[in-house]
Amino acid sequence: MSIVSRWLLAASALLLGGQSALADINMPVGVTPISKEVYGLHMMIFWICCVIGAVVFGVMFYSMFKHRKSKGAKPADFHESTTVEIIWTAVPLVILIAMAIPAAKTLIAMEDTSDAEVTVKVTGYQWKWHYEYLDSGISFFSSLHPDHNAARQKGSGVDVSQFDNYLKEVDNELVLPVGKKVRFLHTSSDVIHSWWVPALAVKKDAIPGFINENWALIEEPGVYRGNCTELCGRDHGFMPVVVRALPEAEYDAWVAENAPAPAITESTGAAATTAVAAVEEDADREWGLDELVAKGEGIYNTNCASCHQANGQGLPGAFPAITGSPVATGPIDAHINTVYVGVSGTTMASFANQLSDVDMAAVLTYQRNALGNSVGDTVQPSAIKALR
Amino acid sequence: MSAASAEHHDHDDHHGPAPGLTRWLYTTNHKDIGTLYLLFSLLMFFIGGGMALIIRAELFQPGLQLVDPLFFNSMTTMHALVMIFGVVMPAFVGLANWMIPMMIGAPDMALPRLNNWSFWIMPFAFTLLLSTLFMEGGGPAGGWTLYAPLSLQGGDSFAFVIFSIHFMGISSVMGSINIVATIFNMRAPGMTLMKMPLFVWTWLITAFLLIAVMPVLAGAVTMLLTDRFFDTSFFSAAGGGDPVMYQHIFWFFGHPEVYILILPAFGIVSSIIPTFARKPLFGYASMVYATASIAFLSFIVWAHHMFTVGMPLAGEMFFMFATMMISVPTGVKVFNWIATMWRGSMTFETPMLFAVGFLVMFTIGGLSGLMLAITPADIQYHDTYFVVAHFHYVLVPGAIYSIMAATYYWLPKWTGNMYDEKWGKIHFWVSTIFLNVLFFPMHFVGLAGMPRRIPDYSMQFADWNAVATIGAFGFGFSQLIFVYVVFKCMKGGEKATDEVWEGADGLEWTVPSPAPYHTFETPPPIR
């Protein structure tokens, strides 16, 4: 749609009091009691500011048209009036108090995280989210959808307008129930992130060493999208949040299907439905070089390519290359250690909790035998399992 | 100004400017140093602006076309550092150097050698800062706020950034000490504090803010330096440190810094509006008190930049109410300017156009600031383009427009020539149109959910980002008109009278145009 027609549409919607066409230029009303209150506050302040602006600019422009020298205006000489000064100090103060009272009420409600029925721990990673349902034990990572990830690379040649929700699609969505108070616990494993879903009016910083909390009660089923809003490094713009709100029965079914038997599953890329038993079995068997490399490529693109680049060349000075790297072509134990433990003082995080045994073995093998490297050895999932 | 010095050999030739380049290197003359600051600021304006155009070019369309995301982050970081520390602050210091001695009837600044030093640190500081862009790993890419732990992930160039910030801080503090010493000690007999022009008052208060907070910034970045290179853990949670503490310390500097960037602008506008309304400022005393109140409040509102970090409810309440309070003294100022215009006899030469542009658009930025003060709404606005729109409205048509207004206003006094009024007005109108095309749509995309500091975005934000980019290039290139007008005026033009403006009031208009190399060697009589 052209800009002009959007403008016209937005203007007509404004006149008719419509909401839909304003979606691109105004705050969403949202689907929680808090988000609706916040929207109400936002519109209230907006209109108060409009009225103040209209009065102030009205007086000013009247004066500018009337009291100009070219119209023969003679300057008056009045100045200093205590009465006037008191009035224009007191009136704004009254307006402020009128704004502060409803704002304080909403703020108190926002901070009340008591009596939650579902608790989800949200952990920020560079550059993905990890969700852990504390009640049911379900946990998984959520990264930018692989198709979008491929399209957003510089020089990908992909027309991004073909995607319905470009950069706002993930591999694993956060599934939440409608009509239940959900409490979020926010923390981070590396730098500060911020988890934001506009439709829920939930935005909280994820800070390493801190656990922040807030909550949402979603009133309508649907898919709600957001982003990381605290600059967190190179791919800050590419760690979306997608929440799928399901009616209670469907949510319960989803939980039943995905809840791990006794232990917690860790999974990336694939859907979180992988059965635990199958994972265990895979980790124990002997894997061939080719199948590890094949599996490793996708893991690499999701977890490593942001820094080390899809071609393994890295970014000189910032992120080392994998191709020809002394680590990736050197002793296998040091290579495993780099990925398993991380390198302190750098962006290189520990992937021990981020990747399963098989995934880590696959990506290590991929790094040693692809991207221009050909060491020829394999890292077996059992070797990773033995480290844990 | 070379033109200025050439004209006044009649009574000043016994100690006029030194010939050649050494004049600028060794000068202790407040006018020379003021000129150096202003030209430095102009150069940095185009460097920082060029970075902004790289940002806007990448954001013209969705998808990544031009730069790597890491370089994009480094552009947003450097753009802010250059514009704040390299453009607005040096320009204000330059104006202070030029005008404060002339406004209070002093022969020069109180500490002329310190003055020379505080300027000449700046080119070195910015060479250090800008050189990081050419180092392995690139420049700082963690945002100008340098939040730990992200900023600690950068390459070794980080040390250069820290040292350059130290240098800028030293320069600012020395400049501020000089301004305070000048104002307190060098006023002509009879120039009581409450007779000083408002530009002097606002700068006095700004100087105290700078002396108070620049050391805080220096402390914060020094802790970053030791965390990064000497294994301390001030801000590293794994080592027992506290990443949120960095934000508290930073914004304890950062919020007063915001007012450092705007209080001198208030002073400039308070000088210009009465001149072109041909009517005295409505409430001089209340303007002084309002400035002081804003300065005081600026120390107790810092955490409104941090409403999403997880503060206790009581803390959020306090910072919300304190922040809202700032709109009272700010409102007093706006109402005072309008009351000054009311029933005046106004003309709209370029300085007045920029002052009125300031008044209108700064008020828009002030109103969106009031919206941001409402904590529950701020949680939605925080770190979106709505915030970007807000602070660009207060900084560009706020601080930058006031500097442009001041330049046009005092340029005839500095050079002895009138600038080209036609091109000045064209500069104003073209800038103002493009500026709004650039920044107004940012309100829309911000409210609709576009985070700031991202190199790529969803399709729903595409139209308005394209519009903003067009505005950015238009605004950027229209600043070349400014350069043209200023340099044309320096070279020649219609001779300016001593008073320059019909309604001008103040000591600077009692000296010849161009102002002699040394003014007020004997103090002027004060009415």
Q: Which of residues 216-245 of A touch B (CB under 8 A)?
A: 226-238
pLDDT beneath 70, residues of chain A: 1-21, 261-281
Contact at CB, B243 and A96, closer than 8 angstroms: no
Minimum distance, in Å, between the CA of residue A135 and any CA atom of chain B:
23
**Identical topology for domains A20-71+80-110 and A118-274:** no
Q: Name which of B143, B452, B459 is nearest A161 (Cβ-Cβ).
A: B459
pLDDT given for residue A277 in this prediction: 45
The string of pLDDT tens digits covering residues B509-518 is 999 999 999 9
Contact at CB, B345 and A69, closer than 8 angstroms: yes
Measured in residues, chain A has a length of 388
**Structure token pair of residue B494:** 């219609």
Chain A hits for B368, CB-CB cut-off 8 Å, are: 49
Chain A hits for B464, CB-CB cut-off 8 Å, are: 24-25
pLDDT given for residue A11 in this prediction: 54
Domain-wise residue ranges, chain A: 20-71+80-110, 118-274, 284-387
- The bridge status of strand A181-188 relative to strand A118-125 is parallel
Contact at CB, A25 and B448, closer than 8 angstroms: yes
DSSP-based three-state secondary structure for B222:
helix
pLDDT given for residue B14 in this prediction: 52
pLDDT given for residue A9 in this prediction: 52
Cβ of residue A15 closer than 8 Å to a chain B Cβ: no
pLDDT given for residue A290 in this prediction: 86
pLDDT given for residue A343 in this prediction: 84
- Chains A, B: CB pairs < 8 Å: 313
Cis peptide before B514 (omega within 30 of 0): yes
If you average pLDDT over residues B308-332, what whole number do you get? Answer: 95
Cβ of residue A168 closer than 8 Å to a chain B Cβ: yes
Question: In the annotation, is B79 catalytic?
Answer: yes
Tell which of A162, A192, A211 to mutate to test the B interface (max B CBs under 10 Å). Answer: A192
pLDDT given for residue A285 in this prediction: 83
ipTM over 0.85? The verdict is yes
Contact at CB, A167 and B457, closer than 8 angstroms: yes
Q: Which of residues 175-204 of A touch B (CB under 8 A)?
A: 186, 190-192, 194, 196, 198, 201, 203-204
Cβ of residue B334 closer than 8 Å to a chain A Cβ: yes
Contact at CB, B153 and A154, closer than 8 angstroms: no
**Structure token pair of residue A336:** 């495993």
The answer to whether domain A20-71+80-110 has CATH 3.10.105.10 is no
Minimum distance, in Å, between the CA of residue B194 and any CA atom of chain A:
14
- Please give the backbone phi and psi of residue A128, each rounded to the nearest 5 degrees, phi first: -160, 170
Chain A hits for B467, CB-CB cut-off 8 Å, are: 3
pLDDT given for residue B450 in this prediction: 95
> Among candidates A144, A172, A147, A169, which has minimal Cα distance to A158?
A147
Q: Which of residues 419-448 of B touch A (CB under 8 A)?
A: 443-445, 447-448
Chain B hits for A106, CB-CB cut-off 8 Å, are: 376
Cβ of residue B73 closer than 8 Å to a chain A Cβ: yes
Handedness of CA B513, B515, B517, B523 (dihedral sign): positive
The string of pLDDT tens digits covering residues B210-242 is 999 999 999 999 999 999 999 899 998 888 999
Handedness of CA A83, B294, B361, B499 (dihedral sign): positive
- Please give the backbone phi and psi of residue A71, each rounded to the nearest 5 degrees, phi first: -95, 10
Sheet-wide strand order for A128-133: A139-142, A128-133, A118-125, A181-188, A212-217
CA A134, distance to chain mean position in Å, is: 20
Question: In the annotation, is B74 catalytic?
Answer: no
Mean pLDDT of chain B: 93
Q: What is the Cα–Cα distance from A172 to A151, expressed in whole angstroms?
A: 18
Sheet-wide strand order for A222-228: A174-177, A241-246, A222-228, A193-197, A202-206
Tabulate helix, strand, coil % of chain B (nearest 5): 70, 0, 25
Q: What is the Cα–Cα distance from B154 to B95, expressed in whole angstroms?
A: 36
pLDDT given for residue B60 in this prediction: 95
Q: Name which of A68, A153, A235 is nearest B346 (Cβ-Cβ).
A: A68
Q: Which of residues 38-97 of A touch B (CB under 8 A)?
A: 38, 41-42, 45-46, 49, 52-53, 56-57, 59-60, 63-64, 67-70, 73-81, 84-85, 88-89, 92-93, 96
Measured in residues, chain B has a length of 527
Tell me the CA end-to-end span of chain B in Å, nearest whole number: 30
Minimum distance, in Å, between the CA of residue A282 and any CA atom of chain B:
34
Question: In the annotation, is B8 catalytic?
Answer: no
Q: CATH top-level class for A118-274? A: mainly beta
Q: Nearest chain B Cα to A59, which residue?
A: B338
Contact at CB, B244 and A210, closer than 8 angstroms: yes
Find all residues with CB under 8 Å of B236, minimum gap 6, and list them.
Answer: B148, B149, B152, B227, B243
pLDDT given for residue B243 in this prediction: 95
The domain defined by A284-387 folds into Cytochrome Bc1 Complex; Chain D, domain 2 (1.10.760)
Contact at CB, B331 and A92, closer than 8 angstroms: yes
pLDDT given for residue B1 in this prediction: 40
Q: Which domains does chain B have, with CATH numbers?
A: 2-509 (1.20.210.10)
Chain A hits for B316, CB-CB cut-off 8 Å, are: 107, 111
Task: Kindly tell me if the per-residue pLDDT of B527 is higher than 80.
Answer: no
Q: What is the Cα–Cα distance from A154 to A146, expressed in whole angstroms?
A: 15
Contact at CB, A208 and B459, closer than 8 angstroms: no
Minimum distance, in Å, between the CA of residue B104 and any CA atom of chain A:
23
Distances, alpha carbon B479 to alpha carbons A87, A104, B88, B429, B475, in Å: 41, 44, 15, 11, 7
The string of pLDDT tens digits covering residues B92-130 is 999 999 999 999 999 999 999 999 999 999 999 999 999
Cβ of residue A374 closer than 8 Å to a chain B Cβ: no
The string of pLDDT tens digits covering residues B246-277 is 999 999 999 999 999 999 999 999 999 999 99
Cβ of residue A153 closer than 8 Å to a chain B Cβ: yes
Catalytic residue among B201, B246, B259, B419: B259
Cβ of residue B364 closer than 8 Å to a chain A Cβ: yes
Q: Which residue has the tokens 């003359």?
A: B29
**Helical ranges in B186-280 per DSSP H:** 198-229, 243-260, 263-277
- Please give the backbone phi and psi of residue A220, each rounded to the nearest 5 degrees, phi first: -130, 140
Is there a contact between B393 and B371 (Cβ–Cβ < 8 Å)? no
Distances, alpha carbon A217 to alpha carbons A31, A32, A180, B449, in Å: 8, 5, 6, 20
Contact at CB, B376 and A37, closer than 8 angstroms: yes
Chain A hits for B323, CB-CB cut-off 8 Å, are: none
Q: Nearest chain A Cα to B306, which residue?
A: A205
Q: Nearest chain B Cα to A91, which residue?
A: B328
Cβ of residue A158 closer than 8 Å to a chain B Cβ: yes
Q: Enter the DSSP assignment of A68.
A: B
Chain A hits for B462, CB-CB cut-off 8 Å, are: 161
pLDDT given for residue A265 in this prediction: 44
